[in-house]
């Protein structure tokens, strides 16, 4: 590490000049979020008392010269510290195969920052828009802005921000998550962030881009998992989460795959491709409505429909097998709509290595 000695008078003059520049033109040249010096976390509560803290490993952002700020969060990078939880959050809750990103946008008012060079640290109100899971909501919070230097500003939440799942069409995903975890989950979370922004001076933005290798990476590679081939437990966890998501659907009483099944089946193709030498069972299941023989036949035909999709997408038929279970293996009661929906499913399990 290099050390520099600066005369007090020169240091004070430099600080005054940098402060004047920030006050006069706070957004000149634009600013870039430094993810290596930043953090984005949230807390959720299950079983009424168990608090779990999670974070996102990949996000990026900028403030343009007009003061328009945009933060993009790559939801594939969810980090709960447990792989099965990660994939459940991805496939069941956030449905990243449909909604891979969340976006935060706001228009900053330069007048609110006029005193920052003198005060160095200020608490300011912030109105922003959160775009998550296909829904947008206007929110307000207080943030603490700290001027580190002319070219570095740190922005943090003054207190955690409460986010309700119902506001972002996430209630169904939360219900699936509760069923998978077999535990009640509070339908809201609190979010905190610490964002370091660096002015786009010569070399500054380029250094951030070079250090942040995940920003330009494909969505799948942002996930916290093995690169290339997945480990056995990772394969098992992903197939289990896809089964729990129950997003492979058919028209009523039909064996024709609905178009809505395409995104999750595309994810299945990718997972099978990354689990070499493993044989996957595609299992069809039904509810108890109708005769036993009819349900048995329907479950077999639906499993075969998924198998046809896999072969059409280039998966070797030797990599999977199909089986129909009819109504013989329910995972819920058949006397409610929700229970029957859970029982009508396609399940994926590893049956050979």
Q: Are 141 and 157 in contact (CB under 8 A)?
A: yes
Segment holding 194, helix H or strand E: strand 188-199
How many helices and strands, by DSSP H and E, does the chain display? 10, 15
pLDDT at residue 321 tops 60: yes
- Residue 58 pLDDT class (50, 70, 90 cuts): very high
* Beta pairing class for 68-74 and 39-46: unpaired
pLDDT at residue 213 tops 70: no
In Å, what is the CA distance from 167 to each residue of 41, 132, 164, 290, 328? 19, 9, 6, 38, 38
pLDDT 10s digits, 240-295: 999 999 999 998 889 999 999 999 999 999 999 999 989 999 999 999 999 999 99
Q: Which domains does the chain have, with CATH numbers?
A: 30-222 (2.40.128.110), 232-352 (3.30.1330.60)
pTM: 0.88
pLDDT 10s digits, 162-198: 999 999 999 999 999 999 999 999 999 999 999 999 9
- Point out which residues pair with 40 in neighbouring strands: 193
Rg of the chain over CA atoms, in angstroms?
25
- Residue 78 pLDDT class (50, 70, 90 cuts): very high
Residue 62 C-alpha from the chain's centroid: 19
pLDDT 10s digits, 305-317: 999 999 999 999 9
pLDDT at residue 338 tops 50: yes
Q: How far apart are CA 268 and CA 291, in angstroms?
A: 31
């Amino acid at each position: 590490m290099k050390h520099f000695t600066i005369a007090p008078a020169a240091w004070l003059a430099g600080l005054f000049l940098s402060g004047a520049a920030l006050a006069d033109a706070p957004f000149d040249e634009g600013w870039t979020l430094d993810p290596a010096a930043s953090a984005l976390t949230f807390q959720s509560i299950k079983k009424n008392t168990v608090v779990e803290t999670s974070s996102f490993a990949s996000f990026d952002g900028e403030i343009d010269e007009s003061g328009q700020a945009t933060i993009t969060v790559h939801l594939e990078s969810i980090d709960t510290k447990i792989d099965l939880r990660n994939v459940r959050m991805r496939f069941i809750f956030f449905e990243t195969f449909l909604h891979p990103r969340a976006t935060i946008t706001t228009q900053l008012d330069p007048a609110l920052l006029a005193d920052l060079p003198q005060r160095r640290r200020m608490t300011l109100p912030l109105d922003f828009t959160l775009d998550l899971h296909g829904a947008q909501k206007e929110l307000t919070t207080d943030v603490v802005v700290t001027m580190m230097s002319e070219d570095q500003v740190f922005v943090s939440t003054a207190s955690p921000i409460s986010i309700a799942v119902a506001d972002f069409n996430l209630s169904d995903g939360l219900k699936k998550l509760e069923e998978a975890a077999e535990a009640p989950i509070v339908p809201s979370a609190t979010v905190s962030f610490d964002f370091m922004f660096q002015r786009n001076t010569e070399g500054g933005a380029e250094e951030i881009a070079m250090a942040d290798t995940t920003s330009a990476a494909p969505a799948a590679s942002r996930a916290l998992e093995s690169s290339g081939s997945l480990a056995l437990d990772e394969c098992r966890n992903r197939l289990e989460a896809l089964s729990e998501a129950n997003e492979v659907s058919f028209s009523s009483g039909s064996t024709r795959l609905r178009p809505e099944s395409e995104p999750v089946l595309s994810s299945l193709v990718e997972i099978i491709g990354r689990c070499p030498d493993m044989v996957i069972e595609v299992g069809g299941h039904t509810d108890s409505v109708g005769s036993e023989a009819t349900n048995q036949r329907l479950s077999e035909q639906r499993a075969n429909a998924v198998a046809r999709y896999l072969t059409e997408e280039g998966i070797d038929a030797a990599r999977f097998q199909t089986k129909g279970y009819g109504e013989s293996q329910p995972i819920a009661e058949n006397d409610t709509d929700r229970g029957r929906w859970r029982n009508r499913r396609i399940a994926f399990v590893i049956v050979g290595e």
